Amino acid sequence: MNEEKRPKPLPPSLRGRRRYLAFHVISEEKVLLQDIINTIWHSLLNFLGETGTSKANIRIIKDTYDEKRQMGILRCSHDSVEGARAALALIQRIGDTRVVFRVLGISGSVKATKIKFFGESRLTEFIR
C-alpha cells in the first residue's frame, strides 16, 4: 500500500474554531450546486476581499447539500460569521435566475446543523 502520509490531527485546543451556517436558496427556477458554489465564492471575494476570505476559512460542504429543498451547509471561522452572512445576503442572481439566500441558523458541528435545520433525527430517538 502506497498511502500518502498525512500530518497528525491537531488537538481540539489548537484547531481553529468553526461555525456551520445552514442556508436555504429560494429561487425562481432550480439551480445547480456548482453554480451556487461559484456564486457564493464570487460574493465572498467581492465583499470580504482575498485576505478577509482567507481568514474566514470558508468551505462549502458538498455532501450535505439537499438538492430537493436547495439547502446546504457553509463552514467558516467563528469570528467571521457575520461577514459570511452579509456576503450571502448580497447575492441576488445565480446566472439569470433571481435568488434569495436565507440563512436558517448557525451551529457548532455538521451533525448538530443537520439535526437542527435539516430535520434529521438522532439515532438514540429510535431506541424503544
Binding site residues, another protein, CB under 8 A = 28, 46-47, 81-83, 85-86, 88-90, 92, 98-103
Name which of 30 and 102 has its Cβ closer to another protein. 102
In this structure, are strands 18-27 and 93-94 parallel, antiparallel, or unpaired? Answer: unpaired
What's the closest the beta carbon of residue 90 comes to another protein, in angstroms? 6
Q: Which amino acid is at 73?
A: I
Name which of 23 and 64 has its Cβ closer to another protein. 23
Inter-residue contact 20 to 63 (CB < 8 Å): no
What's the closest the beta carbon of residue 79 comes to another protein, in angstroms? 12
Name which of 13 and 78 has its Cβ closer to another protein. 78
Name which of 38 and 122 has its Cβ closer to another protein. 38
Cα–Cα dist 116/1, whole Å: 41
Instruction: Enter the C-alpha cell of residue 54.
Output: 482567507
What's the closest the beta carbon of residue 41 comes to another protein, in angstroms? 16
In 3D space, the residue among 23, 20, 58 whose CA is nearest the CA of residue 42 turns out to be 58
Inter-residue contact 79 to 86 (CB < 8 Å): no
What's the closest the beta carbon of residue 86 comes to another protein, in angstroms? 4
